[in-house]
Structure 1
Amino acid sequence: MDSNGAPLQFSVPEPVLRHLSPIDKGAAGEILFPKQVVNSSDRDRYIVNSLIEEAITSSQLEGACTTRVVAEEMLREGRDPTGRDELMIFNNYRAMEWVREHKKASLTPDLLLELHRLVTEGTLENPEDAGSLRERDDVRVVDHRDQTILHQPPPASDLPERLERLCAFANGTEADEPFVPPVLRAILLHFMVGYDHPFVDGNGRTARALFYWSMARQGYWLMEYLSISHVIKRAPSQYARAFLYCETDRNDTTYFILHQLRVIREAIESLHDYLARKISEQKDTEQLLRRSRAFRGQLNHRQLALLSHALKHPGYDYLIEGHQRSHDVSYATARSDLLKLAEAGLLEKTKRGRAWVFIVAEDLPQRIEASA
């Protein structure tokens, strides 16, 4: 319901149905997908890449200012964040990991507050606001150009009851009346957190994380590999308008639903493009190494993936911790991978402080060719 108790509504016109069908088939069904994702441990690398992408772009949507390269290095190497912007990204990464861990749990108010605490810890003006419902009614959505009030959320006194209803809706099933398609349920949860604005700050990041939780809980496994914020960030004004159109047209959330369905479709297409590119790169690397008697059949899939990246990034630094996190393996396994590449002359090993650093040789292609 809206702030005045009037029901929110949606319709299912033909464009909605046209989007839902391929999403249902592609994100939840048994589709033909590259074996690198569904049949081997390489899928962990794709999940890590997706978590990193969503953590960075979701934070940037909320104003985090840091380069993607620096943010990605922080997450892959596991170093402590420095400053509020990096902390926002680090928190988002933890929240996305939380979604994976809790995808089978039922949503409760306490669980949603825990998610918000993860998203905002250490980034708010008042630390006590992390994981707490707002207690003030002066929280508004405004146009930053002229400070025009675009949305006045429900009063703080209504939030506990609204949160209970939100959780009941989140935990609903296909047997409920009226029937709500699972994807639309997840999108409406995203919308309602934005509408209620139950927190002083961090509502957008929490809403998007909750969307992922709902999709994962309802069996849309492909969402673990997608980043919706990456798509939203390309046209953030469209995202904002999709919220506003609902409120100005008699609580019709179909505007937001259509926007988010397009975002999901585009995220799926981006994933397929990314996979095709990475698989092609890895095949090129394998062919290059196959011509080498010294390396033919000697490298595992993690080392091949690293070399695919290294061939395009001469001088790049790899740390054991970063390789470990990228492939979700033990420290000993990651260390062994890098040491063997260094012993083979494909990486140059040096020390930076107390940590070993493995640097891509500037003449890496020539070194591989020389061993043929």
Structure 2
Amino acid sequence: MMIEPNYSISHRILKHISQIEAAKEVIENAPLVPFWERQFREEKALRQIHHSTKLEGNMLSLDEVEAVLSGEKIVAKRREIQEVINYRKVTEYIDMFQSSDKTQISEDTIKTVHSLLVHEILPDKWSGEYRKANVVIEASDTKEVTHRAPDFEAVPELVRSLVDWLNSEEIADVHPILKSGIFHVIFAKIHPFIEANGRTSRAVSTLILYLEGYDIKKFFSLDEYYDEDPLSYYLALQSVQGIDGDMTEWLEFFSEGLAVELDRVKRRVLEMSKEYKTRKSKGQIALNERQELILHYLEDHGQIRNKDWRELIPDVSDDTVLRDLKDLMDKEVIEKKGKTKAAYYQLTD
């Protein structure tokens, strides 16, 4: 079976893509110290894990998820703890996949993601294996059937067709956001596994964006947007009637979600850039860990003197720290005030 997505490029989709491109430009070029880049990525990973598992019924709070990821013991259901651990493995796999020389997603990629998600949750016979029974999707409140997935015997061919479509030359000019959104909804409609289809579709859709140059420093999490209003998310998915159904409404929702999430990230990035007063610098500012410590100290205290940085970085020679300070001055991040023993450093205006 050939996958031929049915959709129109609406005004809303174009508007959202324009907003996404504008936010992407700001985020990728904002001068941020490495400390904040790491913090953004760590926060994103935490939110992604929490919200994607919560969408599927996991009851752990954000703080509890953070505790689990830190290796702390918490009182909770074993399955919920395992779901969090498994999703972290998926985020690590996605990062590894992106940093490798692989450029295309395969069936094995999808099966690997699923296997990681259900590790020690489902029996091994269902891990990364397509379902062997027919399924229907019901509304959680009314139990009304909202979707009848394709016959289980058709699943292998449907997934292969979806992967072939994703990697075909015919869609080389299709915008990455549309590719990701189309994969997301078609995969959900195929419902190839007995469990964890939602988490698998969201994870692979994210990987598609990453491979197409839309990782955007890995600062964003679409799962959080969906989890803020799960009903709208599921209604948008249900708006597509089967694999051949019109996907326009869903793609409007999908692109809006990314636009909203990236606008949040953009505002935070700009706030951090302003806070560290590096907005006048050109390009990304490369800093070492000692320089990061100095900047954090300046942000908290306003100025730093010789005695301060000797206490802040006691195991480093004066010459090394002075070179770090001179480098920051050359980059116009800080400036020196006063002379001799009364001299101090502050962030540039």
Q: TM-score, normalised by structure 2?
A: 0.74
Tell me by how many angstroms 1:254 deviates: 0.7
Equivalent position of 2:250 in the other structure: 256
For 1:129 and 1:249, the matched residues in 2 are separated by: 24
Query: What's the CA shift for 1:219?
Result: 0.7
Please state how far the C-alpha of 1:289 moved relative to its aligned partner. 3.0
In the alignment, what sits opposite 2:194? Answer: 200
Cα deviation for residue 261 of structure 1 reads 0.7
Assess if the C-alpha contact under 8 Å between 1:289 and 1:296 holds in 2. no
**Contact (CA 8 Å) 2:225, 2:261: kept in 1 or not?**
yes
In 2, Cα distance between equivalents of 1:154 and 1:223: 37
- Residue 52 (structure 2) aligns with: 58
Whichever residue aligns with residue 82 of structure 2, its letter is L
Give the superposition deviation at 1:234: 0.9
1:130 Cα offset (Å): 1.9
- Residue 90 of structure 2 corresponds to residue 95 of structure 1: yes
Letter in 1 for 2:106: T
Structure-2 separation of matches of 1:250 and 1:48: 38
Note the C-alpha offset of 1:21: 2.0
The residue aligned with 2:326 is none
The residue matched to 1:35 in structure 2 has which SS?
coil
Deviation at residue 108 of structure 1 after TM alignment: 1.5
SS at match of 1:246: coil
Does residue 122 of the first structure (1) align with residue 126 of the second (2)?
no
**Which of residues 168, 171, 193 is equivalent to 1:172?**
168
Query: Post-superposition shift, 1:244?
Result: 1.2
Aligned 1:84-233 pairs, distance under 5 A: 84-103=79-98, 104-124=102-122, 126-137=123-134, 139-173=135-169, 176=170, 179-222=173-216, 224-233=218-227
Q: 3-state SS of the aligned residue for 1:141?
A: strand
SS of 2:133's partner is coil
- Percent identity of paired positions between Structure 1 and Structure 2: 19
In structure 2, distance between residues paired with 1:30 and 1:280: 13
Deviation at 1:223, TM superposition (A): 6.2
**One-letter amino acid of the structure 1 residue matched with residue 57 of structure 2:** G
Q: Is contact 1:51-1:97 (8 Å) kept? A: no
Match for 2:256: what amino acid? R
Distance 2:175 2:236 in 1: 20
Does the 8 A contact of 1:25 with 1:31 survive in 2? no
Counterpart of 2:343? Answer: none
Q: Aligned partners of 1:19, 1:206: CA distance in 2, in Å?
A: 24
Decide which of 206, 217, 239 is 2:233's aligned counterpart: 239
Partner Cα separation in structure 2 for residue 6 and residue 98 of structure 1: 27
Give the match's secondary structure for 1:201.
coil
How far apart are the structure 2 equivalents of 1:26 and 1:241?
Answer: 27
1:150 is paired with a residue of what secondary structure? strand
TM-score by length of 1: 0.70
Relative to structure 1, the CA distance from residue 292 to residue 32 in structure 2 (aligned partners, 3 Å threshold; closer, same or farther) is closer
Larger radius of gyration: 2
| Larger relative contact order (Cα-Cα within 8 Å, sequence gap ≥ 6) | 2
> Contact 1:27/1:223 (CA < 8 Å) preserved in 2?
no
Question: 1:219-271: per-residue Cα shift (whole Å, max 9, x none)?
Answer: 11316110111111111111111111121897110111000111001110121
Q: What residue identity is the alignment partner of 1:172?
A: S
2:11 match: 14
Q: What amino acid is aligned across from residue 273 of structure 1 in structure 2?
A: R
Structure-1 separation of matches of 2:90 and 2:116: 6
User: 3-state DSSP class of the match of 2:250?
Assistant: helix
Q: For 1:284 and 1:30, how far apart are their aligned partners in 2?
A: 21
| CA shift for structure 1 position 135 | 0.8
1:215 shift after superposition? 0.3
Segments of 5+ residues of structure 2 without an aligned counterpart are 277-294, 317-349
Matches within 5 A, 1:290-305: 290-291=302-303, 293=305, 294-296=307-309, 299=312
CA distance in 1: counterparts of 2:159 and 2:3, whole angstroms: 17
